[in-house]
Amino acid sequence: MPSTNLPRLTQAQAPLTHEVVVVNEFGEATPISIPAERALTVYVDKRELVTLMTLGAHPELLVLGFLRNQRLVASVQDIESITVDWDVGAAAVKTREGIDDIEKRTAKRVVTTGCGQGSVFGDLMEEVDSLVLPPATLTQSQLYGIVNAIRLKESTYKSAGSVHGCALFKGEELLIFVEDVGRHNAIDTIAGWMWMNEGMTGADKAFYTTGRLTSEMVIKSAQMGVPIVVSRSGITQMGHELAQRIGLCTIGRATNKHFLCYSGQDRLVLQPELAGSKLRS
């Protein structure tokens, strides 16, 4: 498919942090940075679909990935353009041929967890069993490379806190790193980015997220065909059950040399000799 068929995207810019004056425990007024959070209302062919609250770093890719992960659009070629205008907080999506049944397909709501009440439209859970993940492995050495690469990133987090980070790796090579006030936004943005890079599959990739591995994160990873997910945080029961069912490798509590592999252990090539002394704290 020639790249001229990729959607045209604006590159809307907005500040990612905002300075406010706070009072600390000594009664001192101090300026600090906090992350931006702005409303982006998505219109598909002039019809209002949803309002996303986002940091605002990559709004066009976020919208594209949202449409992808909500299964509202089957192919990136179905989208002609995405135009974001921060002055009005709007993303105008133009499709080539409309979206069939958009009313029906957005009618059923699953308000999921994550940290909040996330939102997956439609019957994603029912699709899970049809997902087949490609064979792929990650070595313990590559896992340590991923954790270290993340440690060196996290720009908004370092300056303002209160954002989640999400990244896509090929082995230990960092392909893209995204921060957002919502961790689902971060993963959706990566899904949008993958679509804009023609021919990119998830088969040889690993996801990293600072957030917990809930059912929704597991489903989103699997939908994008990424068989390995790494998190600094833990996992929930449904995330664990789904991951086991589809053979997704989930690795959590990944900091420094420590980690726990919750599922899909066959995809992780252990190298315990790299873990250092067991006397670590």
Token pair listed for 37 = 């959070």
Q: Which is nearer to a copy of itself, 5 or 139 (CB)?
A: 139
Among 24, 101, 152, 279, binds a copy of itself (CB under 8 A): 24
259 near a copy of itself, judged by CB under 8 A: yes
Contact call for residues 80 and 202 (beta carbons, < 8 A): no
Chain residues 129-168 in contact with a copy of itself, contact rule CB under 8 A? 140, 160-162, 164
Beta carbon of residue 86, minimum distance to a copy of itself (angstroms, whole number):
13
d(CA 212, CA 254): 11
Q: Alpha-carbon distance 40 to 127, whole Å?
A: 28
Instruction: Give 8 or 18: the residue with its C-beta nearer to a copy of itself.
Output: 18
166 carries an active-site annotation? no
**Closer to a copy of itself by Cβ: residue 215 or 223:** 215
Closest CA to 187 of 142, 249, 240, 229: 229
Least Å from the CB of residue 82 to a copy of itself: 17
Residue 94 in the binding site for a copy of itself (CB under 8 A) = no
Query: CA 122, CA 94: separation in Å to the nearest integer?
Result: 22
Of the candidate residues 58, 68, 205, 240, the single one contacting a copy of itself (CB under 8 A): 240
Distance between CA atoms of residues 176 and 193, nearest Å: 8
Window 59 to 88, contacts with a copy of itself (CB under 8 A): none
Residue 253 region, left (φ>0) first, then alpha (ψ -120 to 50), else beta?
Answer: left
With CB under 8 A as the contact rule, the residue among 5, 37, 155, 171 that binds a copy of itself is: 37
Interface with a copy of itself, residue 96, by CB under 8 A: no
Taking the C-alpha atoms of residue 178 and residue 16, their distance in angstroms, rounded to an integer, is 12
Q: Which sequence positions are flagged as catalytic?
A: 115
